[in-house]
Chain A
Amino acid sequence: MRLRRNAALVAVAITLVLAGCGGSASGSRTSLTVTGSTTVMPIAEVAATEFEAANPGKRILVSGIGSSAGIEAVTKGTCDIGTSSRDLKPEEQSLGLVDIKIALDAIAVIVNPSNPVTGLTKAQVSDIFQGKIKNWKEVGGPDLEIGLVNRDEASGTREAFSKFVLGTADFDPTAAVLPGTGQVRAVVAQAAGAVGYISLGFVDPSVKALSIDGIPANETMVGNGTYPLSRYLHFLTKGQPTGLAKAYIDFVLSPKIQDSVVRDAGFLPVAEGGK
């Protein structure tokens, strides 16, 4: 078992390294290439491992290079399934891609539990993260300096947050830039004036999630579409998926994976969404 796993991983490594996303053409019977968003990658990877265990002889090769690159790859046919943590842009709608939502991601704005502030408007959040508001007392909180915590530029979460909240404006450059969800959570949990943003699935009792524009950040609100900071994660295929691709996608959409792997990765099952 260990040897087979080793061999499989060596093959994955060599193939990934050699082609990024190539080799087998789409529709190949025994192996599948999945590439795109690094946010989606954990789900795809773990699901791939479980799929391979359940279907011996099949190989799913997952890599993460970015949502845009994934969309391009699947359009060109250099991989079988493209993954994306953002919706298709208007100009990408006509590429003949089939958009399959596989998970729901909501971003929660978190503060330290000792912070009496319970909610902000989207405009206030935007101003805070641009550095225009520097003290909690300006938004109804105590006289405490705001400790701004940002994510690194490689983060899909930052990408999404920026799009939802800032639009075209820039983040405050003096904000601390942390490279991981857990770190953001740990810092906000411990520093009284801190504020940051993480995937809703990672919110735990050590931090407090604010409501945005009056809408609390919980699964129901995300599910019925009213929570403003939510997005779907996508698998994209060129034309309707068939064969191995369809089997894998169905596997990822199965309740078992949706409740375990998707939640473990910090997201919500796509079924929670109204649409």
Chain B
Amino acid sequence: MSDSHDPRTGEPVPEMCTDPKSAENAPRPPARQALMTISKATYLKEAALKNLFLVCACVAVAGVALIFLFVGLEGWPIFAKVGVFNFLGGLKWYPTKQFFGILTLIVNSMLAMIGALAIGGPLAVGTAVFLSEVATPRMREIVRPAVELLAGIPSVVYGFFGLVMLRPIVAHLFGGLGFGLFTVWMILAVMIVPTIATLTEDALRSVPDGIREASYAMGATKWQTIWRVLLPAAKIGIIDAIILGMGRAIGETMAVVMVAGNARVIPDGIFKPFLTLTTVIVLDMPYAAGDHRTALFGVAIVLFIISMIFVAAIRVISRFGKGMS
């Protein structure tokens, strides 16, 4: 473990047990003995501070709870009124006529996400492999900042770009209005590249160099090493990255609403307009009232649950992966 090596010189450093209160060192003297080495005032102060920090850390938990609480409170009446199955399974979203089915929206969101992943995933993994294995340091100086800058561009700017530049091109090349899955896929793919690429690169970097050297020593080409050794070794990290990218794609609103076309049907072609879980909220909220508004909060709950499922999936897969190795 890196603990026992001096980070600067690499020499091994003997394990020392200096601070009885530090959680890093073991074994340590039993608590009662520790208490006797410091004054009560200091102990109380340290304990108070620790609890303060703990409270701060728990703000995150409080946040999740609050989101569930408030969004849930606003949204649950629609489930009560229409029924969970009708809401989730109903194909018709015509709130003005009391039809509150979001299945169409769910399907559309999935379609958008899968396509974006199919394009952005390989692009991102390729870029990550480039950064980690193929690039010269000078190339790295160009490409890595590019990835980080891509991550920083606000989603509304992506949407704006899609609206004013990409849509006319798609319309010109493929006919129709230029809205639709194809355009959304293009924009979303570029948006999830930084998410997936940075994590994939991290995963690749944490594969020990020894493995690479062993592979080359056996006569493998770079590509063979990457494809048969490194990518499988970094599999868990890559899957995590992809799931995070999926979460980002399905939760994206601003970029999608400007290029999707917003028709409340399942599109019968990749150049036809469609509406998703996220865009329905942003389009309907300005004038929604009563049940309609409640239904939109219901959609928000569904989105929140979907994103938490993704997070849970990552944890489960990571744990499973660690168990395996």
Interface string of A44-57 (1 = CB under 8 A from B): 00000000000000
Task: Give chain A residues whose Cβ lies under 8 Å from the Cβ of B268.
Answer: 174
Question: Measured between C-beta atoms, what is the minimum distance from A118 to chain B in Å?
Answer: 22
Q: How far is the CA of A179 from the CA of B282 in the complex (A)?
A: 10
**Is A153 engaged at the interface, CB distance under 8 Å to the other chain?**
yes
Contact yes or no, A179 B265, CB < 8 A: no
CB neighbours (8 Å) of A192 from chain B are: 175
Contact between A149 and B286, CB atoms less than 8 A apart? no
Q: A208–B186 Cα gap in the complex (Å)?
A: 31
Q: What count of chain B residues pass the 8 Å CB interface test?
A: 25
Find A191's partner among B171, B263, B286 (CB 8 Å cutoff): B171
Asked if A66 and B287 sit within 8 Å, CB to CB, the answer is yes
B176-A145 in contact (CB<8A): yes
**Nearest-neighbor residue (CB-CB) of A187 within chain B:** B177
Is B132 an interface residue, CB under 8 A from the partner? no
In the complex, which residues 253-282 of chain B have their Cβ closer than 8 Å to any Cβ of chain A?
A: 261-265, 267-268, 272-273, 275
Across the interface, name the chain A residue whose C-beta is closest to B267.
A174
A164 to B276, CA, bound (A): 30
Q: How many residues of A contact B (CB 8 A)?
A: 21
Q: Say yes or no for B6: interface residue by CB 8 A criterion.
A: no
Q: Which residues of A contact B177 (CB under 8 A)?
A: 147, 149, 176, 187, 191, 194
Answer whether residue B168 sits at the interface, using C-beta atoms and an 8 A cutoff. Answer: yes
Note all chain B residues with C-beta closer than 8 A to A183.
163
Task: Assess the B96–A176 pair: CB atoms within 8 A.
Answer: no
B284 pairs with A153, CB closer than 8 A: yes
The total of interchain contacts (Cβ-Cβ below 8 angstroms) comes to: 56
- B179 in the interface (beta carbon within 8 A): yes
Q: Across the interface, do B273 and A177 meet the contact criterion of CB distance under 8 Å?
A: yes
| Chain A residues whose CB sits within 8 angstroms of the CB of B163 once the complex forms | 183
User: How far apart are the CA atoms of A187 and B287 in the complex, in Å?
Assistant: 24
Contacts of A190 in B (CB 8 A): 168, 171-172, 178
CA distance A86 to B224 in the complex (A): 71
Chain B interface helix/strand/loop/mixed = loop
Instruction: Judge whether B179 and A152 touch: CB under 8 Å.
Output: no
Which A residues are in CB contact (< 8 Å) with B284? 153
Q: Is B139 an interface residue (CB 8 A)?
A: no
Bound CA–CA A154/B176 (angstroms):
25
Interface string of A136-179 (1 = CB under 8 A from B): 00000000010101001110000000000000000001111111
The winner among A154, A183, A191, A192 for most chain B CB atoms within 10 A is A191
Interface residue A70 (Cβ < 8 Å from any Cβ of B): no
When chains A and B are docked, how far (Å) is the Cα of A90 from the Cα of B240?
62
Question: A176 touching B287 by the CB < 8 A rule?
Answer: no
CB pair A176–B283 under 8 Å, yes or no, is: no
User: Is there a chain B Cβ closer than 8 Å to A193's Cβ?
Assistant: yes
Q: Which residues of A contact B167 (CB under 8 A)?
A: 187
Contact partners of B275 in chain A: CB under 8 A = 177
Instruction: Write out the residue numbers on chain B whose beta carbons fall within 8 Å of the beta carbon of A174.
Output: 263, 265, 267-268, 272-273
Please give the distance in Å from B68's CB to the nearest CB on chain A.
27
Cross-chain contact A191 with B176 (CB below 8 angstroms):
yes
Q: A176 touches which one: B175, B179, B286 (CB < 8 A)?
A: B179
Asked if B261 contacts A179 (CB within 8 A), the reply is: no
Closest A residue to B171 by CB, please name it: A191
Interface residues of A in 184-223 (CB under 8 A from B): 187, 190-194
Q: Is the CB of A145 within 8 A of B287?
A: no
Expressed in whole angstroms, the minimum distance between the Cβ of B179 and any Cβ of chain A is 5
Query: How far is it, in angstroms, between the C-alpha of A174 and the C-alpha of B271 when the chains are bound?
Result: 12
Contacts A190-B171, A193-B175, A193-B176 given; does A173 touch B264 at CB 8 Å: yes
A183 CA to B175 CA, complexed, in Å? 18
Tell me, rounded to whole Å, the shortest Cβ–Cβ distance linking B227 to chain A. 43
**Which partner residue on chain B sits nearest A150 by CB separation?**
B263
Distance in angstroms from B197 CB to nearest chain A CB is 32
Give residues of chain B (165-219) contacting chain A, Cβ–Cβ below 8 Å: 167-168, 171-172, 175-179
A175 / chain B contacts, CB cutoff of 8 Å: 263, 273
Nearest CB in chain B: distance from A186 CB, A: 8
CA distance A187 to B177 in the complex (A): 7
Task: Indicate which residue in B171, B176, B265 contacts A173 across the interface (CB closer than 8 Å).
Answer: B265
- The 0/1 profile, CB within 8 Å of A marked 1, for residues 282-295 of chain B is 01101100000000
Q: A153-B96, A154-B287, A190-B168 are in contact. Are A177 and B175 (CB under 8 A)?
A: no
4 closest pairs, A vs B, by CB? A154-B287, A177-B262, A176-B273, A176-B261
Other 11 A-B pairs with CB < 8 A, given A145-B176, A177-B262, A177-B275: A147-B176, A152-B262, A153-B96, A173-B264, A174-B267, A176-B179, A176-B261, A176-B262, A187-B167, A190-B168, A190-B178
User: Can you pick out 11 interface pairs between chain A and chain B where the beta carbons lie within 8 Å of each other?
Assistant: A66-B287, A153-B96, A154-B287, A174-B263, A177-B263, A177-B273, A177-B283, A183-B163, A190-B172, A190-B178, A193-B175
